[in-house]
Amino acid sequence: MTYFIPTFGSLLPTLLVVWLIIRRGSKPRRVKLNSLFRFPAIVAVMALLSLYGHAPKNVLAIAMYFAAAPAGAVLGWFSARHVELTLDDKTGTIMSQPSFWGTAMTAGAFIARSLADYVMKGAGGALPAHHAIAGATDAALLFVAARGLASAYHMWVRTRPLLEQHRAAQIAAKETP
């Protein structure tokens, strides 16, 4: 029997992604429209890179892929509706506090995918539920990527009226003597 011992190099991408996710989700942040999609795009690219070379092995895995992306997008859209946005009237800065559960879900999906990959390599792919576990963790990556992108889009939609309100107030303040 051969044993698979993970090296630091094989864990490094997962540790880096999880560190970025936790660091970004641990504090309130300024909403910047020009970089609103940057982090969700990085998560989506990392998810797709994690899936590269891991084609779904059965119909169940394909079904999980097709269900995960739209479900993640719907959850991202609706969770962004409940994020509290605050507008500083003087500077026009919009602040938001990331959700603990969204941060935990995103980090957890990457950890689960890495652990499943570790277990599958250690077992030589001989576990009875190998394809179902791999398909579920792959689908979880697609889920969190779609959730992040949809949430960023909805935040973009929600911040537009706040910025227009701030601009109108600035114009009105300049016009009144």
The C-alpha atoms of residue 118 and residue 170 are separated, in whole angstroms, by: 56
pLDDT, residue 86, reads: 81
Dist CA 54 CA 168 (whole Å) = 51
> What would the pLDDT profile of 2-15 be if each residue is shown by its tens digit?
444 555 556 777 78
Mean pLDDT across 105-122: 72
* Percentage of the chain exceeding pLDDT 90: 12
* Each residue's pLDDT tens digit, 118-154: 766 654 555 555 556 667 778 888 888 998 999 899 9
As a whole number of angstroms, the distance between CA 171 and CA 165 comes to 10
Distance between alpha carbon 2 and the CA centroid of its chain, in Å?
Answer: 35
Strands across the sheet with 29-31, in order? Answer: 29-31, 94-96, 85-87
Structural domain boundaries of the chain?
Answer: 8-175
Nearest to 102 by CA among 76, 138, 139, 65: 76
Q: Check residue 2 and give its pLDDT.
A: 47
Angle at 37 between CA 32 and CA 42, to 5 degrees: 125
Mean pLDDT of 63-78: 88
Q: 85 pairs with which residues across the strands?
A: 96
Q: What is the C-alpha separation between 40 and 43, in angstroms, rounded? A: 5
CA distance 130 to 67: 20
> Residue 102: pLDDT above 80?
no
pLDDT of residue 106: 74
Sign of CA pseudo-dihedral 9, 7, 16, 132: positive
